[in-house]
Structure 1
């Protein structure tokens, strides 16, 4: 059969064979097989061209996806599937991209961890979940996270949170808030405790007293509309305890307030 027409169509080329059969191929396919108008092809050559054209199309799609930012193998695989690339072609493309180092899940994991160590605010548990969601194998994640020291990141985040909540919560409430926040960011309890200990939090009696009365005013306005007497006292006690105030300080404040 003879190529009777070659026409560029955006990112692909239209090949017309014997004036009737049509086939879309990539520029790589044109170059690889030195295709030109009036060239004759055997059935075997055409089959090879079709196979390579499908692979080349899939690879070009993948490279386009990778041109914006680093991706994991699973992200590229999902992207090709969304564009209806055949499963067999997807795996061929993945293998080729890995061989050419366009895809490297180990490097991806290391990059994420290193960026976090420099300027991020996440601990190991959250990073692990993030990498798992990206489709990276557990074995790769385990190796990447092995021996990584998150103490500096945890300390940096703890200090930032301390500046945010200092003067707004009692010492115990502040410590609890910092601990909960750090754990929610993926740091271990031990890492959080060490970071908080490094802040040297001190209890300021005057500030604590001012804060507890401010909170008591707020909670009283809320609960006095529905409760009174013993029930009101219990509601206020529970509300203040949740904010981190000591029961002895709560009892003293309530004696003066009620």
Structure 2
């Protein structure tokens, strides 16, 4: 049994109080508590505290500090339960305390994974070209359940995915990039796949985007790649040179007729 001899506010934080007890002939510091904990346990000078009460006070104060840390973490943006759990774990908060904090935050609706998932999906739809697949991975990393994830992704309809894909295609495709039309389309399709769009959406988006490269730009792209290839393979002659040039240019999306026309024409001498 310990007896409280003194309670004083901390100099740097008047919301926390230092509690001192009598230990033998001397007074010594026992613990510090939040103002709410002080009130909850009616701590005052002369009060006797047994071991069980002591542990309860420390546990309650630990919970209060963890709860305030979580509120501060939430003040910057919405968080998932998993994000808060990881944050508090890094702060070395005990597992039982973390569960209690998350339960209270949920009761106040400060943490709601379903709301978070829906909000994130809407945000990505409105501010990025991310597709459902990439958003799904993002939600998974934040600890959102499969059920909440799929419910939230239902907002991203096929038509909206198609519209976003068309906008991305039109934004990325540009004449004068010195790439063949085919290569540009392949690159853009790959980017859309990486962003998490289904091939069905991508294919239809290209049909509706109606993009094409002028004959002049296609020819300029061909010549630009031909110069690079010539510089690389000029040490070869005859069939070996022609074979390597064709293979290189074909890999860049140019059709065989255009390649043959270049290699059999006068322009090959100007490379």
Give the TM-score of the pair, scaled to structure 1: 0.89
1:29-79 C-alpha deviation (Å, 9 max, x unpaired): 23433444x151432543332221111111111111111111111111011
Query: Displacement of 1:96 after TM fit?
Result: 1.0
Residues matched between the structures, number: 254
Cα distance in 2, alignment partners of residues 194 and 183 from structure 1: 13
**Cα distance, 1:46–1:199 mapped onto 2, change above 3 Å:** same
Query: Displacement of 1:152 after TM fit?
Result: 2.3
1:210-250 C-alpha deviation (Å, 9 max, x unpaired): 2211210122112325x443333232222212221112211
1:102 pairs with one of 110, 133, 149: 110
**Cα distance, 1:231–1:47 mapped onto 2, change above 3 Å:** same
**Cα distance, 1:110–1:45 mapped onto 2, change above 3 Å:** same
Q: Are positions 1:48 and 2:56 aligned together?
A: yes
Matches within 5 A, 1:186-201: 186-201=196-211
Matches within 5 A, 1:122-201: 122-146=130-154, 148-149=156-157, 150-162=161-173, 165-168=174-177, 169-201=179-211
Give the TM-score of the pair, scaled to structure 2: 0.85
Cα-Cα RMSD: 2.1
Alignment match, 1:251: 260
1:111 pairs with one of 115, 119, 135: 119
Q: Which has the larger radius of gyration?
A: 2
Cα distance in 2, alignment partners of residues 200 and 65 from structure 1: 47
Unaligned runs of 5+ residues in structure 1 are none
Cα distance in 1, alignment partners of residues 251 and 12 from structure 2: 63
SS at match of 1:2: strand
